[in-house]
Amino acid sequence: MTADMSVIGLLINASLPVQIVMLLLVVASLVSWSIIFTKRRLIRRTLVASDDFEAAFWSGGDLNTLYRSATRAKGGSLGMASIFELGFREFNRAQQAGGSSPDKLIEECRRAMRVAQMREVDRLEQGLATLATIGSTSPYVGLFGTVWGIMVAFMQIGSQQTATLAVVAPPIAEALIATAMGLFAAIPAVIAYNRYADKVVRLEYRYDGFSEEFASILQRHSRAKPGV
């Protein structure tokens, strides 16, 4: 009887450990692609929102008007607007409460903006650790299936005392499929992780720069007059 050497046939007729390995790799690949598409949309939205807000902020408009626009944004403020919103809210609260020196007031605003920035960066980084884990472990999971398939091939050679192609081809083929599936799961995850991690770092640098610039603006306002 001739063994079914098609990919589907090899998957169906593979040994149980190799089938488990392949199932794990399929699940890992699906999770990876789900994170990739979700993170792509989120980072794109954050970049567009930050670009739009930065353009509005540096256009010289009224800060109170910009603040009201940020608070009324559908779905809440995003990216740089969120940092501005919390910083300006803290500035207004401290101004109304009074009793704080300009330096203390600005320090409170910086603290509020740091909290907002940490929250925004954490939201952007969610899922990246999973991509890194899938990218680093999938080749080894596939390698386990490869080793098992080769071991089965040698066991069949020993039991039948023959090394014909018909004996060794199926287990070797399923072993190579496990390797290929491991790489298929790992490569997109690694590429996406490196790309998105770089974008998050760049956004974080922009947030740092904006926070410092905005703190300087608030400091000038706090020394010039009691309100904005």
Q: How many structural domains does the chain have? A: 1
Is 172 domain-assigned? Answer: yes
Is 107 domain-assigned? Answer: yes
Sign of the CA dihedral running 153, 154, 155, 157: positive
Are 179 and 21 in contact by the 8 Å Cβ rule? The answer is no
Is 173 domain-assigned? Answer: yes
- Spatial CB neighbours of 192, under 8 Å, sequence gap ≥ 6: 32, 35, 36, 39, 131
Is 180 domain-assigned? Answer: yes
Is 138 domain-assigned? Answer: yes
* pLDDT tens readout for residues 12-63: 666 777 788 888 999 999 999 999 999 999 999 999 989 988 888 888 778 8
Is 2 domain-assigned? Answer: no
Is 121 domain-assigned? Answer: yes
Q: What is the CA radius of gyration of the chain?
A: 28
Q: Which domain holds residue 143?
A: 7-224
Is 1 domain-assigned? Answer: no
Walk along the chain (228 residues) and give the pLDDT tens digit of each residue. 445 556 566 666 667 777 888 889 999 999 999 999 999 999 999 999 899 888 888 887 788 888 888 888 776 778 899 999 999 998 888 878 776 677 888 888 899 999 999 999 999 999 999 999 999 999 999 888 888 878 877 777 766 666 565 666 667 777 788 888 899 999 999 999 999 999 999 999 999 999 999 988 888 877 665 444
Output the pTM of the full model: 0.80
**Residue 192 pLDDT:** 95
